[in-house]
Amino acid sequence: MSYKPKTLTERIDWIMVILFMVISLIGIACIYSIEHRETDIGFFLSGKSYMKQLIWFGISLTAAFVILLTDSKFFTSIPFLAYLIGVLFLLLALTPLGVGVKGSHSWLNLGFFTFQPGELMKLFTALSIAKFLSLQEVNFNTMKHRLICASFALFPAIIILLQNETGLALVYFSFFIAMYREGLPNIVLVIGFSMMALTVATLLIPKNMLFLILSSLALIFLYITRRKLRRNKSIIVLIAGVWLFGVAFSQLIVPFAFTKVLKGYQVQRIYTMLGQEMPDEYVREGVDKKKQNASEYNVSQSKIAIASGGVIGKGFGNGTQTQFDWVPEQTTDFIFCTVGEQFGFFGSALLILLYVSFLMRMIHIAERQRSSFSRIYAYGVAGILFFHLVINIGMTVGLAPVIGIPLPLLSYGGTSFLTFSIMIFILIRLDMDRQMVLR
């Protein structure tokens, strides 16, 4: 094998860089289109969100430059330390040092700027999981190491849940995609999906009806497996156990979770997504019914804005719904509305295509790595990006509950933008050394 050393710029995956640039600039253009008024003179106006986003874009590019010049061994050496510091910051946000924003308590004021440690923690977690799984002594086939790996992802999630940022916490579940790639058994996924199906069924079907359905399903299984039953009595126990769990889950656990664990507005949002009226039993005392419908209003306004774009959209700068504040949170969580309204179906589909090609490129990169660290890290980043993408756009079109997570690189917000940029450029940096084995 002849190995011809390449220059630094030759080793950079330019497709990734270009996709990053294009999506970021689309984001800035979208924020500009919302904020621009005909009375504005010039483009560079302080106080406008798109200018702030542009500054964050500059900061991110600087950070990217620094990352590209850093030795890739640096990234394999810091994960656990960074993870510890991240957890420390997360816990700090819970103390009076943290700043409360809109009912959550996830921001940290560092004097000169505020940031959300939960955002940065995604990066640290991705690095840590990659580091842990690539350790020589770790065998992902053992239950012990699987549990440790899962707790790497779930520990910050629990802290963030305590900070009242459910959406951000849910993002940490996306690491299961990376774990799946590394050999998480199928049965875990089967159980996971069954649980999800059971949850949705519990929400949609009345309790007693669900009980009947589960019971009859159990009986049908018993009938199908009646030959085997004679030989293997443990199947009866298994079916009975699953049936008992299903019933207990639907009759006890979900109502308990909805009344005690989840907040009233979260329950409302889940029902909104399913297109159902919230049952009276879950309505909290002292909670205004009108306020509960706020997320319903957001989603319907968002749908109106997107649908009004039609096939080819209203054209850049002509978004009447988004320009005049008809869609709430339109620069952050509902930024996709501006694309939908101004560029229509073609524009939206094109943007989704851009994101999907971004994801595909990441998997392509992941699969060409020699070191498992880089591969696992790439899957971690892809998973996070995918989760953000699907949930965010899903909620703007009414397919997912409104849990308030930004659209990567498009939504207005410094921490989020910087975190995603750093994550992506670390991946590009690691890819530059794809022939090396990093540990």
Partner 1 sequence: MADVTQDRSNYIRLFFAAIPLIIVLRLLFLQVFGVGGYKDSALGQAVYIKKIYPPRGVIYDRNGKVMMNNSIVYDLVVEPKKVRNNFDTLLLCKLMNVTTEDFRLTFKRMVTKYGWQQRNLTLYRNLSPISVARLQENIFEFDGVDLIEHTERNYVHGCGGSIFGYINEINEKQMKSERFANYQKGDYIGVTGLENTYEEVLRGTPGVKYLLRDVKQRIQGPYKNGTLDSLPKPGKSLQLYLDGDLQKLTETMMANKLGSAVAIDPQTGGILAFASGPSFDPTLLTGANKGRNLSRLLDSATKPLFNRPIQAMYPPGSTFKPLTALVALDEGVIGPHYGYPCGGGYYACGRRIGCTHSGGGHAANLGLAIANSCNAYFCHIFRLAIDAPKYDNVHIGLQRWYQYMSDFGLGHPVGVDIPSENGGHIPDSNYFNRVYNGNWNSCNMSILGMGQGEVLLTPLQMANAMCIIANKGSYYIPHFVKSIDGDSNTAQLQKYRQKHVVAHIADSAFEYVIAGMQAVVDMGTGKIARMDGIEVCGKTGTAQNERMIQGKRVKLQNHSMFVAFAPRRNPRIAVAVCIENSGYGATWAGPIASLMIEQYLKDSISEKRKPLVKRMQDAKIIPNYTFILDSLEKQQARERERVKNMSKDSLLILTRKKDSLRRLDDSLMAHYYYNKFYLHKRQN
Contact assessment for residue 219 and residue 226, using Cβ atoms and an 8 Å cutoff: no
Can you tell me which of 71, 310, 435, 439 binds partner 1, judged by CB under 8 A? 310
Q: Report the residue number, 74 or 297, with the smaller CB distance to partner 1.
A: 297
Contact assessment for residue 203 and residue 179, using Cβ atoms and an 8 Å cutoff: no
How many residues belong to the site for partner 1 (CB under 8 A)? 46
Supply the minimum distance, in Å, between the C-beta of residue 273 and partner 1. Answer: 12
- Kindly report the number of other CB atoms within 10 A of residue 208's CB atom: 9
Task: Give the span between the Cα atoms of 253 and 242, in whole angstroms.
Answer: 15
Can you tell me which of 122, 131, 181, 269 binds partner 1, judged by CB under 8 A? 181
Q: Report the residue number, 121 or 153, with the smaller CB distance to partner 1.
A: 153
Q: Build a one-symbol-per-residue string for 370-399: x at contacts with partner 1 by CB under 8 A, - elsewhere.
A: ---------x--x---x--xx--xx--xxx
Q: Build a one-symbol-per-residue string for 21-60: x at contacts with partner 1 by CB under 8 A, - elsewhere.
A: -----------------x----------------------
Supply the minimum distance, in Å, between the C-beta of residue 328 and partner 1. Answer: 8
Q: Report the residue number, 259 or 320, with the smaller CB distance to partner 1.
A: 320
Supply the minimum distance, in Å, between the C-beta of residue 412 and partner 1. Answer: 18
Q: Report the residue number, 177 or 247, with the smaller CB distance to partner 1.
A: 177
Torsion 56-165-160-430 (CA) sign: negative
Q: Which part of the chain contacts partner 1 (CB under 8 A), choosing from 15-23, 86-94, 246-254, 308-316?
A: 308-316
Interacting positions 230-259 with partner 1 (CB under 8 A): none
DSSP 144: H
Question: Starting from the edge strand earliest in sequence, which strands make up the sheet with 114-115, in order?
Answer: 98-101, 104-109, 114-115
215, 223, 208: which is closest to 240 by C-alpha? 215
Helix (H) or strand (E) holding 100: strand 98-101
Supply the minimum distance, in Å, between the C-beta of residue 388 and partner 1. Answer: 12
Residue 332 identity:
T
DSSP of 107-121, one letter per residue? EEE-SS-EE-HHHHH
Supply the minimum distance, in Å, between the C-beta of residue 393 and partner 1. Answer: 5
Interacting positions 311-370 with partner 1 (CB under 8 A): 311, 318, 320-321, 323-326, 340, 344-345, 348-349, 352, 355-356, 359-360, 363, 366-367
Task: Give the span between the Cα atoms of 156 and 72, in whole angstroms.
Answer: 25
- Token output for 255: 């109502």
89-117 exposure pattern, b = at least 16 Cβ within 10 A, e = fewer: bbeebeeeebeeeeebbbbbeeeeeebbb
Binding site for partner 1 (CB under 8 A): 38, 177, 180-183, 300, 303-311, 318, 320-321, 323-326, 340, 344-345, 348-349, 352, 355-356, 359-360, 363, 366-367, 379, 382, 386, 389-390, 393-394, 397-399
